[in-house]
Amino acid sequence: MTPMSPLRLLFLLCVAGAAAAAPAPEFALVRVWPGWKEAEDFTRLREYFGAAPNSGPRRVLRTTPEQRAGFYFLVRTRGAAVPDAVVELAILRPDGPEPVLHRFPAALRSGEEVVELGLTGDAWPGGKRAEPVAWRLRVLGTGGRVLAEERSFLWVDSAP
């Protein structure tokens, strides 16, 4: 094995140092998992003993808060706190050609957080066998600035 030239070693150290010093994104969507959930999926053991419903460490935001069954987007975020965040979900449902827009106010804490966005009641008329045709999820900050965005494969940019 031949020794590395000092110039090449200096170059590699500079590249490694620049990569380590690059700032991490201020806020990011780590993953979005869409899928149907039954009402029983949210029932905690303590509810069987008469306690009030409690979502535990995850935050659950629903279009119809008193209804639990629905189509959910489990969203994992990472980054700086966004106290005035609005999570905007545009969805093309199987029952119509136009996207439907839902907004969920959600003060997001710093670090990693999991939020479940539920389309419940009339917001998801398709039932458990229906799947969205396409969707786009955006996290908006102060003044409606887009902080992060994730979309399905079929989402078209011209949709709202």
Tens digit of each residue's pLDDT (9 = 90 or more) over 62-79: 999 999 999 999 999 999
Predicted pLDDT of residue 156: 84
Supply the pTM of this predicted model.
Answer: 0.77
CATH number 2.60.40 is the correct assignment for the domain at 27-151: yes
How far is residue 50 from each of residues 34, 46, 53, 68, measured CA to CA in Å? 31, 7, 9, 18
Calculated CA dihedral for residues 10, 12, 13, 15, nearest 10 degrees: 120
d(C-alpha 76, C-alpha 114), whole Å = 5
pLDDT tens profile 74-93: 999 999 999 999 999 999 99
Question: Are the C-beta atoms of 92 and 133 separated by less than 8 Å?
Answer: yes
**Domain range list for the chain:** 27-151
Distance from CA of residue 23 to its chain's centroid? Answer: 22
More confident residue, 105 or 8: 105
